Amino acid sequence: MTTQSIAAANPAAQAHATPRYISPARRFYWSLLREFWEHRSLYIVPWTVAGLYLVGFLIGAFRLIAKIPGHGNLAVDHQLVVTQFSNAALALMAATSIVAVVYSLSALHSDRRDRSILFWKSMPVSDIATVLSKASIPIVFIPLITFVVTVVTQWILLLVGSAVLALSGFSVSILWSHFFLFHMWIMILYHLLAVHALWYAPVFGYLLLVSAWARRGAFLWAAVPPTAIVIVEKVAFNTHYFSDFLAYRFHAGPEGGLSPNMLFMDPLSHLTPLQFLSSTGLWYGLALTAVFLTGAVLLRRYRSAI
Amino acid sequence: MNSIEARGLRKSYGATIALDGVDLSIPEGRIVGLIGLNGAGKTTALHAMLGLTPYEGDLRVLGLDPWTQRDLLTRDVCFIADVAVLPRWIRVSQAVDYVAGVHPRFDRSKAERFLARTVIQPHSRVGQLSKGMVAQLHLALVMAIDARLLILDEPTLGLDILYRKQFYDSLLTDYFDYTRTILVTTHQVEEIQNILTDVLFIHQGRIVFNRPMDDLESSCFEVSVAPAQLAAARAFHPIHERESLGRRILLYDRAAFDNDRRQLASLGDVHTPSLADLFLAVIGNQAYPPPSQPTQPDAQPHPAQGVAQ
């Protein structure tokens, strides 16, 4: 077929239709969805960890029932059941933290490696929207997913744990009293938002920047600069400010690390959001996050695509 | 308005010069073939037009500066690079959903109609499809976008002949309507010869030949002559010579000289060269100067109209 025959088939050139309006929020929504399509580990890993934990808990519970008749130590066994709740939460946080790190390092890297960036860049989605949607995954959505999966897991633990205690002839009241789970959920949500989202944000910003910059070996490149600074500082000045700085950041700053016992505390008397929000470390961290993400946008935008 | 307008477009990677002052104007509603050897600067030129790479010089695509106004440009320009750029993990249905979600000019029902003609299953992942099917999918997505400029960079690379033919056939019957512009690079020159309205040859970062196809037929011709007529035929300044089946084939680019054509017809068979032969003639003279022969001083490219500097 030749162009001449097409001309005959389409004598009147049709005008281009007016485009639909697509709001930035809608583009952002589809960019997010695209991340979940590509990175299925974002939801598969937490649910798998939850499933494994429940299986382990069930096996342990049946062993408990088997050995209880007559000579169980009531207090210890109660403690055992209750500790399962905080351990489940900690296991999920640990797993999703790893997912967040792996995700951040590949987010702006994998599509350059497989050249699909040429497809994504042919779509009318700005690089700012792309980078922000990718940054929101570790900073906003992984903490929220962690919270939801934790709540569901703990509900199942509560039901199964009550059944086990009841079958063993113990009182289940401890599990259903003092708003014990409700308090724990507030503590977990606060910890996830304050520490995993806000306090660790610059860590994810840094990883995203490396992921936008590195041509290959993003994981290695992410480790090189901090390690180099620590070593050079130690050798040159025999000081360790930078490693202290990193340690402070990773030990969750003013909030401190999360210990299993903390989860059982009454949130109203132990949470200090005002103190957290007024800590300079938080705001320096967020400013640094903004710098890192700006760098990632600029690299994505102004560097040759591949 | 011209879809693409470039003046002195330059781009170098370190010491390597990829584009060395490209000048071109592509009016709206044309199908332009950009033809060149590997490393001639084709992909760099396309990437500059798509705002994927910085450049020096003046470049306007649909009136926009592709480097600084890329976000606006992506609404009106579609791009297919060789078949490998759709991500392998995406499902066919997800790809359609995504483009429908972000592209203001995407017509979902159109894309679904195109896909229904293929054997592609909506649930398949791109990684499970054959190369030909991935190309069909990408083409279905792009043809459902009401864009003003479509840029194709080796779109059929690695496809078998059936898919290649289908690709260009659908492009012509279902997409091209004389309000859009299509710019295509390919190695398979013969296959696009019949669909082009204009042809550009690029060599070492420069446009060395630029002609509407209609003019090509009237201005370029080949004469195959027996050895006895060779000297007479060479007197008319062929731009290239080759040997075929014991006869010399001389290629002329002489738009202005109708008279020459009649005289040459008396020396041998006159016919229109294929685009591939013309390309080899034009590029061959630049890449490898013609072998030394008595008439070599006369064998320089004729400065005919349309040949870019």
Q: Name the least confident of A241-255, B94-108, B128-142, B267-281.
A: A241-255
Within a domain: residue B306?
Answer: no
More confident residue, B127 or B240: B127
Nearest CA in chain B to A129: B71
* Amino acid residing at B58: D
B260 vs B185, more confident: B185
* Domain residue limits at B258: 214-299
Q: Which of B153, B173, B204 is the last residue of a domain?
A: B204
Q: Residue B306 pLDDT > 50, yes or no?
A: no
pLDDT above 90 (res A3): no
pLDDT value for A166: 77
Looking at the domain assignment, is residue B264 inside a domain?
Answer: yes
User: Residue A203 corresponds to which amino acid?
Assistant: V
Give the nearest chain B residue to A123 (CA atoms): B74
B92 touches B120 (CB < 8 A): yes
User: Of B77, B87, B196, which has the smallest distance from its Cβ to A119's Cβ?
Assistant: B87
Name which of B29, B102, B138 is nearest A123 (Cβ-Cβ). B102
C-beta atoms of A1 and B169 within 8 A: yes
A-chain residues within 8 Å CB-CB of B70?
Answer: 301
Start-end of H helices in A168-200: 173-176, 180-191
pLDDT of residue B261: 72
User: What's the pLDDT tens digit per position in A263-301?
Assistant: 665 555 666 777 778 788 888 889 999 999 999 999 988
Q: What is the pLDDT of residue A209?
A: 95
Chain segment B113-135, per-residue pLDDT in tens: 999 988 999 999 999 998 888 98
Is the pLDDT at B284 greater than 70? The verdict is yes
Residue B74 and residue B191 in one domain: yes
- B260, pLDDT greater than 60: yes
Q: Average pLDDT, whole number, for chain A?
A: 81
Who among B78, B81, B178 is closest to A7 (CB)?
B178
pLDDT at A57 over 80: yes
pLDDT digits 0-9 by tens, A98-115? 999 999 999 999 888 888
What distance in Å separates residue A70's CA from the closest CA in chain B?
57
**For position A69, what pLDDT does the model report?**
57
Query: Which residues of chain B are within 8 Å of residue A22 when distances are taken between CB atoms?
Result: 101-104
B53 contacts A1? CB cut-off 8 A: no
Q: Tell me whether residues B102 and A33 touch, CB distance under 8 A.
A: no
Residues B64, B194, single domain; the answer is yes
The letter for the amino acid at A248 is Y
Q: In what order do the strands lie in the sheet with B2-13?
A: B16-27, B2-13, B56-61
Domain-located, residue A43? yes
A10 at interface of B, judged by CB pairs closer than 8 A: yes
> Which range of residues forms the domain containing residue A298?
24-302
Chain A residues near residue B216 by CB distance under 8 angstroms: none
What pLDDT score does B295 carry?
43
Q: Decide if B33 contacts B151 (C-beta within 8 A).
A: no
Among residues B148, B182, B204, which one ends one of the domains? B204
Place of tokens 């304050």: A194
**Can you give the pLDDT at residue A103?**
95
Interchain CB distance below 8 Å, B91 and A16: no
Q: What confidence score (pLDDT) does residue B111 get?
A: 93
Q: What is the pLDDT of residue B297?
A: 41
* Mean pLDDT of the A37-50 span: 95
Rg (CA), chain B: 22
Tell me which of B241 and A119 has the higher pLDDT: A119
- Judgement on whether residues B40 and B151 belong to the same structural domain of the protein: yes
Same domain? B39 vs B128: yes
Residue A270 is predicted with a pLDDT of: 65
pLDDT at A102: 94
Query: How confident is the model at residue B298, as a pLDDT?
Result: 42
- The domain that holds B73 is classified in CATH as 3.40.50.300
Question: Do strands B220-225 and B247-253 pair parallel, antiparallel, or not at all (unpaired)?
Answer: antiparallel
Whether residue B97 is predicted with pLDDT greater than 90 in this model: the reply is yes
B305: in domain: no
Number of domains in chain A: 1
- Which residue among A1, A19, A115 places its CB closest to the CB of B173? A1
Q: Are residues B232 and B88 in the same domain?
A: no
Pair (B191, B231) in one structural domain: no
- B123 shares its domain with B266: no
Which positions ≥6 away from A14 have C-beta within 8 Å?
Answer: B177, B179
- Assess whether pLDDT exceeds 70 at residue A262: no
Average pLDDT, chain B: 83
Size of interface A-B (CB pairs under 8 A): 120
CA distance B148 to A111: 26
> From CA B164, how far away is CA B50, in angstroms rounded?
24
Of B144, B179, B204, which residue constitutes the final position of a domain?
A: B204
Residue B44 lies in a domain: yes
Put simply, the answer to whether A19 touches B179 (Cβ < 8 Å) is no
Indicate whether B309 belongs to any domain. no
Query: What does the pLDDT read at residue A274?
Result: 76
CB contact under 8 A, A22 and B173: no
Instruction: Report yes or no: A113 at the B interface, CB cutoff 8 Å.
Output: no
Q: For residue B172, tell me if it sits in a domain.
A: yes
- Indicate whether this model's pTM tops 0.90: no
Tens digits of residue pLDDT in B192-212? 888 889 999 888 888 888 888
Pairing outcome for strands B56-61 and B77-80 = unpaired
A3: in domain: no
| pLDDT at res. B83 | 59
Percent of chain A with pLDDT over 90: 34
Q: What percent of chain A has pLDDT over 70?
A: 78
The pLDDT assigned to A239 comes to: 80
Count how many domains chain B has. Answer: 2
**Structural domain includes residue B307:** no
What span, in angstroms and rounded, lies between the C-alpha atoms of A227 and A240?
Answer: 12
* Nearest by CB: B98 against A7, A30, A126: A30
Give the nearest chain B residue to A37 (CA atoms): B90
Per-residue model confidence (pLDDT) at position B305: 39
- Residue B304 counted as domain residue: no
A126 touches chain B (CB under 8 A): yes
Q: Is A244 helix (H, G, I), strand (E, B) or coil?
A: helix
Q: What is the pLDDT of residue A4?
A: 47
Mean pLDDT of all residues in B159-163: 84
Judged by phi (left if over 0) then psi (alpha if -120 to 50, else beta), residue A70 lies in left
CA distance A292 to chain B (A): 22
User: Is the pLDDT confidence value at B294 over 50?
Assistant: no
